């Protein structure tokens, strides 16, 4: 396996600070925590990814964890823009949302989401899933070489 | 005459003037002797008698001085003077005045009288009084002119044949009718100039010849002469002999009277008489002609039949003996119509007649009898009675149904309204006929275009129509809703002539419909809002709930060691409650999605579907050691497959869940159908349901057991009912406690997306 020596960076697009806190809790014991970046809506997410409007000095993330229900610009719009952007489309996007609506799931995959995860009701399950995501995307999957 | 003058000159020279005096005294014609200056020097005795002047009155005077020459003839006298300047003598004719002013027409011989040396001595004039002669000549001319004008102006063609029977004269009427020039006619025989039909003319000529040599003075005959090929004319011809004063035949006058028109008229008259007789005798009306004294002069066959008499019996009888009720025609009245006369027949039946009486007038306008026409109207009366009864019956029927009737005469643009219709629209007038516009203006302004357009469309397609629109009362502005039905009636040329129909008051129904419509709209809106609310609420509630639950769990796991027993218990309750609430929100979401996120209605094989449900529940089935039976199910019913799956899943899992502990669960799925629906039964041998909860169990979050006994939120059957309702069906159950329950539901065969469902 081809490991990148630099620690992987995650962009968490989530408006609910409770959820941000829960993900932080879940990642508490991993080295990823320090590289977790959080923006609170879709507009900031695109600014972050395109390094504009005050985000000029942020790194390009290795993984995007994307909520669907957000103010200003929702998750579907972010997903569509990312996947249509030549520079950004190779970044894996994990849609993590409270909805288990089939139409939301279908729409996400149609917009080329890399995976869709429903936020579990149980906290322990939630932690478990977050860790599994981390493990899957950074230990199992081979990602393309980063371009900086 | 020159010699005579010389002789006189000689006499003068010889001094035998006495002899000249004698000559002047006795000459039977007037002689005047003028000197060389045209002054009278001698005036004969005869001149005195003719002109009434005495010689001594005129001697030495010029002709002007005695006003001798008629003014208009003065020129002629001057001409004589002029002529005698170069010649010895001349003749002249002019009018002269007598002394009393009367006019004498004179013929003059004027002689120049000179001596041997050629010196003019005077003029000798001899005169002849021709006044009477001239007057006769003029009279003859006038008679000739008079005759000629008369001859040519009479419109009757006339010819005059000479003693050789050749045409001597013809008038313009003759020339005109035979289209012949008068020159051609002259001195020809009739056969030589008339164009056609020689036989007829030869016959005529023969007749004329015979007549000429006979003793008859005149003869007449009828003859038809063809003027040209297409023009035959009939003539009444009359010839009369013309004798001279010695009683010798010198010619024949022929008159041709054109009687073509008279012949045609008489033929027509004959035809008319024949026609009249035919009509009279074959008429279905009884006709009788009576005298001023009501005595029957003539009667036709029908008249005899009506009154059961023979012609011979009634002729000469007074009509009053047959019909006593006949009224007398008033004076100065031309005719009279009698509506009804009844006559009792010999067999006891009654005949009803109407009658018309005319006064018959002769050529001078004097009444000379009466015509009477009797018509048997018994059958018509009977029909009319039936018709009135039928109409009354029909009107009664219509009155009974409360509908108004109308009948629009397209050509007259007139609308008839039945009494009922008039009272519906509060029209008080007596008249039943109205013009279009007075009714059109009762239509509500908002409906009028629609009404006109629709009627016009049906009109051009001959379709019956039924329209709902508002009409206002004739009296005030109160509008009511009416249903107007109409049918177009056309004539044999497919031209619409009438439109007739009914008017029904549907105001109350219409208001109810309007109310229903508003209510329905409200219902749909509130239903949509409710669904939206349920969906949004449950969806958006998820987030904060998960926060509560997650952080409670985090709290518990992080601080469990520092909590006492009671605090742990509280936290557990809170966690338990939040998890349950989450489940309920989820259930609510599923419930609302039945209508907000429906699937398609498609053909589904129920056998496959049940197999899938069973497969899905195989763990629970295995745990409970349950048996599920199902007989042959419909292979194709139209339904929402996902929802149908959910329905059976819920019912079968309920059957498994509410099974008795000590009895092996047996579930039987069966089906039945009728014209309208499929009926499914899911029967179990479980704990049963108390019938008093029949309604309650289908309500959302209603439970019959504690969570400890049976887990669950009470959403399953509510979802079932909602699915069944979406399929236009119903759901119920039959149950006995501890014996088991059968859930029965139906799926409509004709599913429509039902807006009413909640």
CB nearest to A121's CB, from B551, B557, B579:
B579
CA max distance for chain B: 221
Q: Does the pLDDT value for residue B613 go beyond 50?
A: yes
- Residue A79: CB partners within 8 Å, gap ≥ 6? A66, A93, A95, A108, A111, A112, A113
The two tokens of residue B40 are 């009278």
CB A98 to CB B557 under 8 A? no
Contact assessment for residue A73 and residue A46, using Cβ atoms and an 8 Å cutoff: yes
Contacts B579 to A, Cβ<8 Å: 121-122
How far, in Å, CA of B748 to CA of B729, rounded? 6
Q: What is the mean pLDDT of residues B588-599?
A: 79
Give Cβ neighbours of residue B686 (< 8 Å, ≥ 6 apart).
B655, B658, B659, B660, B665, B740, B741
The order of strands in the sheet holding B40-43 is B40-43, B31-35, B120-129, B103-114, B89-97
Hey, are the CB atoms on B553 and A122 less than 8 Å from each other? yes
**Contact assignment for B543 to A122 by CB distance below 8 Å:** no
Nearest to B550 among A22, A69, A101 (CB): A22
B696-701, Cβ contacts within 8 angstroms, sequence gap of 24 or more: B697/B733, B698/B731, B700/B588, B700/B591, B701/B584, B701/B587
B582 closest CB neighbour out of A22, A25, A121: A121
Residues contacting residue B749 through CB under 8 Å, at least 6 positions apart:
B637, B638, B673, B675, B676, B677, B678
Q: Which of A140, A130, A122 shows the shortest CA–CA distance to A10?
A: A130
In terms of Cα–Cα distance, which of A121, A120, A117 is closest to A136? A117
Closest residue in A to B551 (Cα) is A123
| Interface with chain B: mutation pick from A14, A18, A27, A130, highest number of B CBs within 10 Å | A18
pLDDT for B121 equals: 87
Contact B553 A18 (CB under 8 A): no
Q: Which residue in the set A99, A101, A126 is minimally distant from B550, CB to CB?
A: A126
B290: helix, strand or coil? strand
Partner residue facing B553 (CB), from A18, A69, A124: A124
pLDDT digits (tens, 9 = 90+) for B335-372: 888 888 888 888 888 888 888 888 888 888 787 888 88
Confidence of residue B755 (pLDDT cuts 50, 70, 90): very low
Residue A19 inside a domain? The answer is yes
B281-332 residue pLDDT tens: 888 889 998 888 888 988 888 888 888 888 888 888 888 888 877 777 676 7
B interface with A, Cβ–Cβ < 8 A, is: 539, 542-543, 546-547, 549-554, 557, 579, 582, 597
- Measuring CA to CA, which residue among B318, B309, B302 is closest to residue B346? B309
Residue A111 placed within a domain: yes
Element (H, E) at A64: strand A63-66
Asked if B554 lies within 8 A of A16 by C-beta distance, the reply is no
- Interchain contact, B551 vs A25, CB within 8 Å: no
- Residues with Cβ within 8 Å of A45's Cβ and at least 6 positions away in sequence, in order, are A11, A13, A39, A64, A66, A73, A78
pLDDT at A98 > cutoff 90: no
Q: Phi and psi for B450 in degrees, rounded to 5?
A: -60, -40
Q: Which two tokens stand for residue B463?
A: 């379709």
Work out the average pLDDT over B416-421: 84
Q: How close, in Å, is residue B681 to chain A by CA atoms?
A: 30
Q: Answer whether residue A116 is part of any domain.
A: yes
Do residues B217 and B240 lie in contact, with contact meaning Cβ atoms separated by under 8 Å? yes
B143 falls in which pLDDT band (50, 70, 90)?
A: very high
Q: Do B557 and A119 touch (CB under 8 A)?
A: no
Distance from CA of A112 to the nearest CA of B (A): 23
Which whole number is the average pLDDT over B40-48? 89
| B343: its two tokens | 């006559």
Residue A95 tokens, joined: 């849609």
Residue in chain A nearest B556 by alpha carbon: A123
d(CA B748, CA B707): 35
pLDDT over 70 (residue B757):
no
Q: Is residue A142 part of a domain?
A: no
**Is A145 a domain residue?**
no
ipTM metric: 0.71
Query: In 3D, which of B199, B202, B239 has the Cα closest to residue B220?
Result: B239
> What does the pLDDT read at residue B14?
57
- The reply to whether A14 falls in a domain is yes
Which domains are assigned to chain B? 2-136 (3.30.450.20), 154-264 (3.30.450.20), 283-376 (3.30.450.20), 383-505 (3.30.450.20), 507-597 (1.10.287), 598-748 (3.30.565.10)
Best mutation site among A71, A74, A106, A122 for testing chain B: the one with the most B CBs within 10 Å? A122
Q: B341: closest CA among B312, B373, B317, B313? A: B373
Say how many domains are in chain A.
1
B17 confidence band (pLDDT: 50, 70, 90): low
Residue in A with minimal Cα distance to B552: A123
Asked if B597's CB is within 8 angstroms of A123's CB, the reply is no
Which structural domain range is residue A78 located in?
A: 10-137
Cα–Cα distances in angstroms (integers) from residue B506 to residues B419, B484, B590, in the given order = 18, 10, 45
In this structure, is residue A143 part of a structural domain? no
What's the first-to-final CA gap in chain B, in angstroms? 161
Read off the pLDDT of residues B458-482 as tens digits, 9 standing for 90 and up.
Answer: 888 888 888 899 999 888 888 999 9
Which residues in chain A touch residue B560, judged by CB atoms under 8 angstroms apart?
none
CB–CB of B543 and A16 under 8 A? yes
Q: For residue B8, what pLDDT is reported?
A: 56
Share of chain B above pLDDT 70, in %: 95
The size of the A-B interface in CB pairs under 8 A is 37
Which has the closest alpha carbon to B657: B704, B609, B593? B704
Rounded to 5 degrees, what are φ and ψ at B742? -120, 115
Average pLDDT of span B494-516? 87
Residue found by looking up tokens 């009277």 in the block: B257
Residues of B in contact with A22 (CB under 8 A): 550-551, 554
Q: Is A144 among the domain residues?
A: no
Among B203, B263, B253, smallest CA distance to B233 is for B263
CATH number at residue A105: 3.40.50.2300
């Amino acid at each position: 396996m081809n490991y990148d020596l630099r620690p992987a960076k995650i962009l968490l697009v989530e408006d609910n600070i409770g959820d941000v806190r829960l993900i932080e809790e879940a990642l508490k014991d991993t080295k990823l925590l320090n590289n977790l970046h959080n923006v609170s809506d879709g507009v900031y997410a695109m600014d972050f990814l395109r390094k504009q409007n005050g985000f000029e000095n942020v790194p390009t993330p290795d993984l995007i964890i994307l909520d669907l229900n957000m103010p200003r610009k929702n998750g579907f719009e972010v997903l569509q823009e990312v996947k249509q952007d030549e520079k950004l489309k190779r970044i894996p996007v994990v849609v993590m949302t409270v909805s288990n609506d089939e139409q939301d799931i279908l729409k996400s995959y149609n917009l080329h989401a890399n995976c869709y995860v429903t936020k579990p009701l149980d906290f322990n399950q939630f932690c478990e899933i977050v860790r599994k995501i981390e493990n899957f995307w950074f230990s199992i999957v081979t990602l393309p070489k980063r371009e900086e | 005459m020159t010699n005579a003058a010389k002789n006189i000159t000689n006499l003068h020279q010889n001094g035998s003037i006495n002899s000249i005096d004698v000559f002047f005294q006795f000459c039977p014609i007037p002689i005047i002797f003028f000197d060389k200056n045209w002054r009278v020097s001698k005036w004969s005795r005869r001149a005195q008698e003719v002109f009434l002047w005495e010689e001594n009155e005129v001697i030495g005077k010029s002709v002007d001085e005695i006003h001798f020459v008629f003014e208009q003839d003065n020129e002629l006298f001057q001409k004589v003077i002029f002529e005698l300047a170069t010649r010895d003598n001349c003749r002249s004719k002019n009018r002269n005045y007598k002394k009393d002013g009367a006019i004498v027409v004179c013929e003059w011989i004027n002689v120049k009288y000179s001596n041997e040396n050629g010196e003019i001595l005077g003029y000798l004039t001899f005169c002849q009084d021709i006044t009477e002669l001239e007057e006769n000549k003029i009279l003859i001319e006038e008679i000739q002119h008079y005759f000629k004008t008369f001859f040519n102006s009479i419109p009757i063609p006339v010819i005059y044949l000479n003693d050789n029977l050749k045409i001597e004269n013809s008038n313009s009427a003759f020339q005109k009718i035979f289209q012949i020039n008068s020159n051609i006619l002259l001195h020809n025989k009739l056969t030589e100039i008339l164009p056609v039909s020689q036989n007829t003319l030869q016959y005529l000529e023969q007749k004329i010849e015979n007549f000429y040599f006979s003793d008859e003075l005149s003869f007449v005959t009828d003859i038809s002469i063809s003027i040209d090929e297409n023009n035959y004319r009939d003539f009444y011809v009359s010839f009369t002999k013309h004798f001279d004063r010695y009683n010798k035949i010198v010619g024949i006058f022929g008159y041709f009277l054109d009687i073509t028109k008279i012949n045609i008229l008489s033929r027509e008259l004959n035809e008319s008489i024949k026609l009249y007789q035919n009509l009279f005798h074959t008429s279905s009306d009884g006709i009788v002609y009576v005298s001023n004294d009501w005595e029957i002069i003539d009667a036709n066959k029908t008249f005899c039949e009506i009154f059961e008499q023979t012609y011979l019996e009634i002729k000469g009888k007074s009509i009053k003996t047959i019909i006593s009720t006949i009224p007398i025609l008033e004076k100065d009245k031309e005719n009279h119509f009698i509506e009804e006369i009844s006559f009792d027949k010999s067999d006891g039946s009654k005949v009803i007649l109407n009658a018309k009486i005319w006064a018959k007038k002769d050529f001078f306008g004097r009444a000379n009898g009466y015509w009477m026409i009797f018509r048997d109207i018994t059958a018509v009366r009977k029909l009319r009675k039936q018709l009135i009864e039928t109409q009354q019956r029909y009107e009664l029927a219509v009155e009974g149904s409360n509908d108004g009737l109308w009948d629009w005469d397209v050509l007259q643009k007139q609308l008839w309204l039945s009494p009922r219709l008039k009272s519906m629209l509060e029209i008080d007038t007596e008249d039943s006929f109205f013009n279009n516009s007075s009714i059109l203006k009762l239509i509500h302004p908002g409906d009028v275009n629609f009404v006109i357009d629709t009627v016009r469309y049906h009109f051009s397609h001959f379709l019956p129509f039924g329209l709902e629109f508002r009409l206002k009362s004739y009296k005030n502005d109160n509008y009511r809703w009416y249903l107007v039905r109409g049918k177009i009636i056309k004539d044999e040329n497919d031209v619409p002539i009438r439109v007739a129909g009914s008017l029904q008051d549907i105001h109350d129904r219409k208001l109810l419909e309007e109310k229903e419509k508003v209510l329905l709209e409200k219902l749909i809106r509130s239903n949509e809002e409710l669904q939206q609310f349920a969906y949004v609420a449950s969806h958006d509630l998820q987030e904060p709930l998960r926060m509560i639950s997650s952080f409670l769990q985090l709290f518990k796991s992080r601080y469990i060691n520092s909590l006492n027993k009671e605090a742990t218990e509280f936290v557990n309750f809170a966690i338990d409650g939040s998890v349950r609430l989450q489940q309920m929100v989820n259930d609510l979401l599923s419930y609302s999605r039945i209508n907000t996120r429906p699937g398609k209605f498609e053909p589904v094989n129920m056998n496959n579907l049940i197999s899938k449900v069973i497969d899905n529940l195989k763990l629970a089935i295995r745990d409970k050691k349950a048996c599920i039976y199902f007989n042959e199910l419909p292979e194709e019913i139209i339904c929402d497959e996902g929802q149908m799956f959910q329905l059976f899943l819920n019912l079968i899992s309920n059957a498994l869940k509410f099974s008795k502990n000590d009895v092996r669960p047996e579930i039987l799925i069966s089906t039945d159908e009728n014209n309208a629906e499929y009926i499914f039964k899911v029967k179990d041998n479980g704990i049963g349901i108390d019938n008093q909860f029949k309604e309650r169990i289908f309500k959302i979050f209603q439970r019959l057991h504690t969570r400890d006994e049976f887990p669950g939120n009470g959403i399953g059957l509510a979802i079932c009912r909602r699915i069944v309702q979406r399929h236009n069906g119903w759901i119920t159950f039959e149950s006995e406690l501890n014996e088991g329950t059968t859930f029965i539901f139906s799926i409509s065969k004709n599913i429509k997306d039902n807006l009413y469902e909640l």
